[in-house]
Structures are given as structure tokens and as C-alpha cells.
Amino acid sequence: MSRFAALLTSALLTRGLTAALRHRAPGGRDRWERRNHAGRTVDLYAGPATAAATALAAARVHPAAGLAVLAAGACGAYDDIAGADDPRRGFRAHLGALGTGEVTSGAVKLFGISAAALAAGTLLKERPLDGLLAGVVIAGAAHTANLLDVRPGRAAGAVLALAAPGLARGGAGGALAAVAVGGAGAVLPEDLGERAMLGDAGAHALGAVLGTAVVSANGRVGLLVHAGAVVAAAVGGDRVSAWARAL
């Protein structure tokens, strides 16, 4: 699949699925509305639409990439619904709850995305260590994108900026970067305009597809560098989110 075809497929599917969901509003429009940081009412249609569109486009490049993106989007969507009223944030809070026997939606998301990322990593890389590092990069990229989704346009804009240089690459890495660019670019105007919200579904999916692009384009040294970066972002999650708010 060429980079242009991947970008176009991702962008058109994202826009088309968003419009279709907005028209039908399954379950009623109230289910799809949230208040953003400024107290404005925004809708969540773009989140699952972006997740489904980028998963389909990524799967055309490599089925394992589609699996990782679909799982990230699905786990994020579950947290958007089940964890909407849960004030707990961050790994520590959800792991702490798990230690008391409570399985939160955040814990489901954490372990679900991690398992899918590791499975995809082993399929994208032949050597076991490379597959493990690939899983860390994919799951970490998904989490980092979600950490940035604290103000309009932060997550989509970051994914767009980070994926754009990958368009210069050939092969699966370039095609998957194009998928990320297409999805992020399609949703960015409504996100910035505070008409739509990515939510966990959209942010995790965009991060995951960016992660698969990085994995596909890098060898072990590159994987080590990127794995270190996403682990550092996870450890400093509050600082990353605060930085995104300040931009």
C-alpha cells in the first residue's frame, strides 16, 4: 500500500465514519456528549471513528498493526464509557485499586493495550527482544498520546507532527506514518475548534498507529531509544500532561 493511498484511506474513512456516527448517534446523543476543559459541550464521535478508520487502514499495511490500533481504540472506548465518572488517573491509582481487588476500566485499558501491543510487536519483529521492545514502543506511544489529550488539538497535533517526518521513509514504516498523518489531520480541525473530542478511544488509537510506524521503521537501537522515551513519558505522566496544558 503506497503512502498516498494509506494517508487518503485513513483521512477519508475518519471523516466518513465521524459523519455517519454523528448522523445516527447510536444510543442517543446524550451518550456522545461531554464537557471539555472550558465547560463547552463537545461530542465523542471522532474518537471511535478515528480508531476504526486508522485500524482498517493500518491493517492494509500489516495485519499486526491493525490489531494493535484496534485494541488500543477498543480499550480506550471502554474507558470512555465505563470510566467516565471515575476520578482516578494514572497507572498508580488503577494498579492500587487492582491491589484491593477492584478492576477499574483504567486497569482493563492498561493490560488490554499492553497485551495487544506485545502480540503485535512479536508479529512485526522476528527476534524476541525486538518484539518485546516493539510492544513497549506501541503501548507507550498509545499512552503518551493519551497523556497529551488534555486540551483541544494537543494529541492529534503531536501525532501529526511526529508522524509527518516518517512520510519520507519507504516500506511499511512510511505507509503507517501516512495512516497516522491521515487520521490525525482529518480530526484536527474539529478538535481544535472544540466541536469534537478524541477521548481515550481516538487518542490511544492515534498513538498506537504512530508506535507501529516507529517500530516498522527502526532496528534494535532505534527501538531502544524510542522505548526509553515512552517509558520516561509514562513515569513523568503528570508533567507531560501539564506541559501539554501549558502549550
- Our count of domains for the chain comes to 1
Name the grid cell of 59: 491493517
**What pTM, to 2 d.p., does this model score?**
0.92
Amino acid making up residue 42: V
Full domain range(s) for residue 68? 3-22+34-246
Tens of pLDDT, residue by residue over 165-185, are 999 999 999 999 999 999 999
Name the grid cell of 202: 481516538
Instruction: Give the residue from 46, 68, 65, 94 showing the smallest Cα distance to 237.
Output: 94
pLDDT at residue 86 tops 60: no
- Asked whether residue 140 is assigned to any structural domain, the reply reads yes
Distance CA 110, CA 242 (A): 21
- Asked whether residue 96 is assigned to any structural domain, the reply reads yes
pLDDT at residue 107 tops 90: no
- Asked whether residue 28 is assigned to any structural domain, the reply reads no
By CB atoms closer than 10 A (0-12, 13-18, 19+), residue 113 is buried
- Asked whether residue 226 is assigned to any structural domain, the reply reads yes
Instruction: Give the residue from 165, 147, 156 showing the smallest Cα distance to 186.
Output: 156
Instruction: Give the residue from 75, 39, 70, 47 showing the smallest Cα distance to 57.
Output: 70
- Asked whether residue 55 is assigned to any structural domain, the reply reads yes
- Asked whether residue 38 is assigned to any structural domain, the reply reads yes
- Asked whether residue 11 is assigned to any structural domain, the reply reads yes
pLDDT at residue 91 tops 90: no
- Specify the range with the lowest mean pLDDT, choosing from 62-71, 101-110, 235-244: 101-110
- Asked whether residue 27 is assigned to any structural domain, the reply reads no
